Chains A and B, each alone.
Chain A
């Protein structure tokens, strides 16, 4: 099976090279036979990469340790879910995933445009196949340079095949982590489609909105994947990392946020080009930047140039990725400059009070936000280049500069739906803004009067902007439904349903705005009004945090021999005014390190990876959140004595003596159990982080609402479904004519 996967990958490289060449021949000569052949070749690349992925997954599921990748990232004891997802825990597997998702996205768009965009499609095929060739080539380069560790089917010599694999990095053993990487990668990869068609439009000088109409859905799909990836990453951070938050402005988090910001700007600005024929240079520039930032995201997680919690991904593929990014930026910039005459706008903005003006303003704010995040992310490199000392920027710096921009964007999310294209009638403006402004003002007054809103002015502004946006979108839905009823009659529900389903793009977008407003309200509340305190408690001790009494009731311990894990935890009783509000059981999990000294098996547990299992009670108004960090320093003498004993024992026995090795393993298991018993009987003190995080649940709800809105917007409407039937009929007719 592995041989089949390796052969399929090699064939995929040759086929993708052929795709580039045949697409270019077809594009230059206009010979449809070459164009059709290149499209088929692209489909073949998808098929071949599918075979490679299935072969690799099969090797993981079978624990085939003859493959270096499987031996290094899985084990016989790894749960099946994580065996299946271990592929993208490694670099070579991630590269295969990148190329595979690109082959899916590319095949989908080539199938969708098989009867359209005849001039653009071959050039776009060449660009997409070129990117695929780069990533498949990177993998195959691992056969020549094994130390690069990019080849997923690298085999170990028979004598080196271990009986047991190293297992998956414990940090990645979380359901959110199982799907977070492929979601982010899919987000990055799907932006390749609009990028490829933008380049094709520039090359062919067909820079009208046709390339946008055909690829808008792919940009939206990319946005949904990226949003989901970001949300899952935040959720994982909140429940697994034990620091108490969901967003740390980590470089790799930022790297995923950057294309999300520019991609969101792109999704808004292409509407202006579709509708008014404006912002052509801006749109092609935005998608080039978004694609380059997507590559940068891959580069950052794989290069290790910046310190990150994602440091497990460090490798040697950084330089080639950097070359690709430079090629994309320089090549695209030169192409845009050479087409400036063709990219001139058809029209000008009629009025500053128009929807296109609001989109332009929103774009400037999104780009401003992206510039701030970019600067903060790369500041360590910049400071090192100029001062020789690496210094990084922390969360307060990001918060200081991003919050005002986020307030402006949230406010615009409400203004946009209220104004019409081209110009707004002053009377209409008053009518549109009266209710949302009143609601926003009312929310502001209530927050100042009852929640000491002035103490946190930025949070207050975010709440007010959020209230304005929710009211504005609510009013749009209300008035739209009323207008629909006035024209067509029917019940309010049927009018509402008809309104939004007939205008999916418009109302899907508004639903996204509702989600973003809820999300930012959650962010403002949880970051500005969080109550947090670190307590050092022993069993029976209590502490006070705000209005809450926190008691360490008793310790807990658990050994998981399958995952080679030992967990030390605590039962925490949380009360308010004497009433129990939560009984939580956070724990700290220690994983046996495969890299640890084999003669010190006990120490190996506490020097390897450790993760936090957060104790949490979620609610609509607040989350009660706890993490525990036992102080195990009192265990050190015991661990050292135990390890010294095992070292002496290991010297006395013959390594080839299986009975003796089994005896030692049994003794080690007994020693670990003794440690767990000691934790329960002679419990050391523990650092307990106790947070009350208001409104966090609204971050997750807002994210889900936003993604549902985007899915609603990209779902084909009745017109598209009718057109597809027509396309099928036309294609059938063409085939009939060809036969006769």
Chain B
């Protein structure tokens, strides 16, 4: 009895897991998925960089950073954020949806952040 049930279950599992194997090897969808993945990685890096910028602004607002240290760190973070945004733009044509422009904190003036 157990063997029969196991065979039936395995048949269902085989049908489920073999779906991707039954599609053609090189499709536009696969390329699109690769582009999606690259963009998702860049988005994650962008969000992490934004978080760093917010942290730095918060540290400055609380008086932990001197103005000189803040300006130096902010300039570095801003340059890194802009580099990521450029990479996202380079990837952009592959995908339709864009983030709202208001989110691009890396392009704001230093000290005008929202802590």
Across the interface, do A18 and B17 meet the contact criterion of CB distance under 8 Å? yes
Residue from A40, A118, A487, A730 in contact with B95 in the complex, judged by beta carbons closer than 8 Å:
A730
Contact B64 A32 (CB under 8 A): no
Given A3-B5, A210-B41, A486-B61 contact (CB < 8 Å): yes
CB <8 Å contact, A44 and B16: yes
Distance in angstroms between the alpha carbons of A428 and B59 in the assembled complex: 10
Q: How far is the CA of A424 from the CA of B63 in the complex (A)?
A: 10
The one of A3, A14, A37, A719 in contact with B50, judged by C-beta atoms closer than 8 angstroms, is A719
Q: Does A117 contact B41, Cβ atoms closer than 8 Å?
A: yes
Q: Is the CB of B10 within 8 A of A11?
A: yes
- Is B101 an interface residue, CB under 8 A from the partner? no
The reply to whether B29 and A3 contact each other, CB–CB distance below 8 Å, is no
Convert A479-493 into 0s and 1s, putting 1 for each residue whose CB lies closer than 8 angstroms to a CB of B: 110011011100000
Q: Given A48-B9, A506-B55, verify A428-B66 contact (CB < 8 Å).
A: yes
User: Is the C-beta of B19 less than 8 angstroms from some C-beta in chain A?
Assistant: yes
Q: Which listed residue, A11, A35, A502, touches B54 by the CB 8 Å rule?
A: A502
Q: How far is the CB of A667 from chain B (nearest CB, A)?
A: 44
Residues of A within 8 A of B13 (CB): 11, 15, 41, 44, 48
- Cα distance A729–B99 in the bound complex, in angstroms: 12
Q: How far is the CA of A210 from the CA of B47 in the complex (A)?
A: 12
In the complex, the answer to whether A40 meets B54 with C-beta atoms within 8 Å is no
Chain B contact residues, CB within 8 Å of chain A = 1-3, 5-6, 8-10, 13, 16-21, 23, 25, 27-30, 32-34, 36-37, 39-41, 43-45, 47-48, 50-52, 54-56, 58-59, 61-66, 69, 73, 95-97, 99, 103, 113-115
Contacts between the two chains (Cβ within 8 Å), count: 184
Complex formed: what's the CA distance from A734 to B44 in Å? 20
CB of A731 within 8 A of CB of B36, answer yes
- A573 to B: closest C-beta gap in Å: 54
In the complex, which of the residues B16, B43, B61, B64 contacts A418, with contact meaning CB atoms closer than 8 Å?
B64
Q: Which of B5, B10, B99, B115 contacts A722 (CB 8 A)?
A: B99
Contact of A726 among B29, B48, B54, B99 (CB under 8 A): B99
A214 CB contacts on chain B under 8 angstroms: 44
**A662 CA / B67 CA spacing, docked (Å):** 89
Q: Which of A14, A425, A486 is in CB contact (< 8 Å) with B65?
A: A425
Give 1 or 0 for each of A4-29: 1 = CB within 8 Å of chain B CB: 10111011001100100010000000
Query: How many Å lie between the Cα of A734 and that of B69 in the bound state?
Result: 44
What are the 9 A-B residue pairs with the smallest beta carbon separation, nearest first? A738-B29, A483-B61, A36-B20, A7-B5, A425-B66, A7-B6, A420-B59, A420-B64, A116-B40
A431 within 8 A of partner (CB): yes
Interfacial chain A residues near B19, Cβ < 8 Å: 36-37, 40
Within 8 A of B (CB), among A195-228: 209-210, 213-214
A275 touches B52 (CB 8 A): yes
**Looking at chain A's contact residues, is the secondary structure mostly helix, strand, loop, or mixed?**
helix
* CB-based nearest B residue for A424: B64
Chain A 410-450 per-residue mask, 1 if CB under 8 angstroms from chain B, else 0: 00000000111111110110011000000000000000000
Q: Which residue of B lies closest to A423 (CB)?
A: B69
Q: Which residue of A lies closest to B23 (CB)?
A: A33
Given known pairs A37-B21, A40-B16, the reply for A733 and B96 (CB within 8 Å) is yes
Q: Which residue of B lies closest to A735 (CB)?
A: B29
A723 at the interface (CB under 8 A from B): yes
Given A418-B64, A722-B99, also A738-B44 (CB < 8 A):
no
State whether the Cβ of A476 lies closer than 8 Å to any Cβ in chain B: yes
Determine the distance from Cα of A734 to Cα of B39 in the docked complex, in whole angstroms.
13
| Residue numbers in A under 8 Å from B44 (CB-CB) | 116, 210, 213-214, 723
User: Quick check: A14 and B36 within 8 Å, CB to CB?
Assistant: no
Instruction: Report Cα–Cα, A15/B12, bound state, in Å.
Output: 11
A209 CB contacts on chain B under 8 angstroms: 48
Is A499 in contact with chain B by the CB < 8 A criterion?
A: yes
Say whether A157 faces chain B, with CB atoms less than 8 Å apart: no
Would you call B37 and A118 a contact (CB within 8 A)?
yes
| Contact residues in B for A3 (Cβ distance below 8 Å) | 1-2, 5
Are A117 and B5 in touch, CB under 8 angstroms?
A: no
Q: A427 vs B68: C-alpha distance in the bound complex, in angstroms?
A: 13
How many angstroms from the CA of A731 to the CA of B99 in the assembled complex? 15
A499–B37 Cα distance when bound, in Å, is: 31
Residue of A nearest to B66 (CB): A425
Contacts of A41 in B (CB 8 A): 13, 17
Q: Closest approach, in angstroms, between the C-beta of A429 and any C-beta of chain B?
A: 8
Is A115 in contact with chain B by the CB < 8 A criterion?
yes
